Amino acid sequence: MSVFLHAIETAVPPHVYPQSVIRDVMKAQPELDRLGQRIIGTIFNASGIDQRHSAIGEFNWAADEPAGVFYDPATRRMLKPGTGARNAFYIVEASKLFVQAARQVMAAASPSIQPGDITHVVTVSCTGFFAPGPDYAVVRALGLRPDVQRFHVGFMGCYAAFPALKMAKAFCEADRDAVVLVVSAELCTIHMHASNDPDTLIASSVFADGAAAALVSARRPSPGTPVLRMDHFETTLTPAGVGEADMAWTIGDLGYDMVLSTYVPSIIETHISGALVPLLAHDPELADAPHSQIEHWAIHPGGRSILDKVESALNLSAEQLKPSREVLREYGNMSSATVLFILHSLLHSAHDHERVCAMAFGPGLTVESGLLTKLSGLD
């Protein structure tokens, strides 16, 4: 039985910052020593990012406005709210994004899929916690049935959309009448802070806020309606001891401490071909073929150098990595939501029967991958 991504929609908070603005804010922080001052420009300027969205509007405030939660415009100092204050901000602002993305994807799928059709809601986030959680907020805001089954994928990092999609696919394979709403929302920027540590500076240069939602079902799409058939998914860990400390999140007193080591691109370059073996083994035509034979690639853009290494290691063309680079350039790294932005683009740009290989990397170092096929309805 085939299962399909029937619709994907994205949402971002209203505040958008050129990369140069955040770079200059960070550079003005007195915590930075000479080394930090010297490398911060290089890190931000080489990120491949033009702009990022944030739920925080304070970096645009005029100098005569009072200090906010995260920033004092008069002194240009980044403030240091505790983890509780950051999470309180997350509860309000992330809830808005979860609901906005969910409403948009329901509108995109209407009239084929209605609120009363939803049987499962799976929410995804690693940048905050609360209960009743975003799954509850979505059910209430959209007027879904009270018996909808709810699940939350939390704190798994940038690859977390894949476990959510795999759950949705399994629900639909177990019950052909299931219709699953998957919603991911991340507020990475609420944990940004000044530091002299190069790994922390790299994280501050790439992470952004955003949300995306998808509808998954085994229903046959109407002729002419674009869908992505969800063919296969796989999970792979790099060898023990490799990458475990290079990509990680921990909860600190001043928010979440994000680590994105300079070694991550090289680790991915070394292990990405092997990580694809179990996924491509499902399709004999692809198992022994050059990777470039797969027309489209949705690679989570953890950073520009990661995309560079993937392109080189798999011998892909610049065109095949263009959707990933464009999302990085326009939105930055929105953690778990990011790959759905790329799939949204490919849902509407790929041609019928072309294949899509999606990949994301996260704490562990974990590699999640999926193989999909673009279709425009079924005869």
Instruction: Give the rounded distance of the alpha carbon of 145 from its chain centre.
Output: 28
CA 316 to chain centroid:
22
Distance of CA 33 to the CA centre of its chain: 32
Sign, Cα dihedral of 331, 325, 276, 257: negative
Judge whether 336 and 126 are in contact, CB under 8 Å: yes
Q: What is the CA radius of gyration of the chain?
A: 20
| Structure tokens, 33 | 């020593």
Residue 158 bears catalytic tag: yes
Q: Give per-residue burial for 30-46: e unless 16+ CB within 10 Å, then b.
A: eebeeebeeebeebbee
Contacts of residue 330, Cβ cutoff 8 Å, sequence gap at least 6:
50, 51
340: its two tokens: 């759905």
The two tokens of residue 143 are: 């007027």
* Cα 322 from Cα 307, distance rounded (Å): 10
For the chain, give the number of residues: 379
| Residues in CB range of 287: below 8 A, 6 or more apart | 277, 280, 281
CA nearest to 5, candidates 215, 226, 157, 150: 215
What is the rounded distance in angstroms from the CA atom of residue 171 to the CA atom of residue 173? 6
Strands of 55-206 (E only): list them: 71-72, 77-78, 120-125, 149-154, 179-187
How far apart are alpha carbons 203 and 259 in whole angstroms?
7
Q: How far apart are CA 203 and CA 264, in angstroms?
A: 12
Q: How far is CA 127 from CA 93, 154, 177, 184, in A?
A: 11, 8, 32, 11
Catalytic entry in 126, 158, 188, 357 = 158
DSSP type of residue 67: P
Catalytic residues: 158
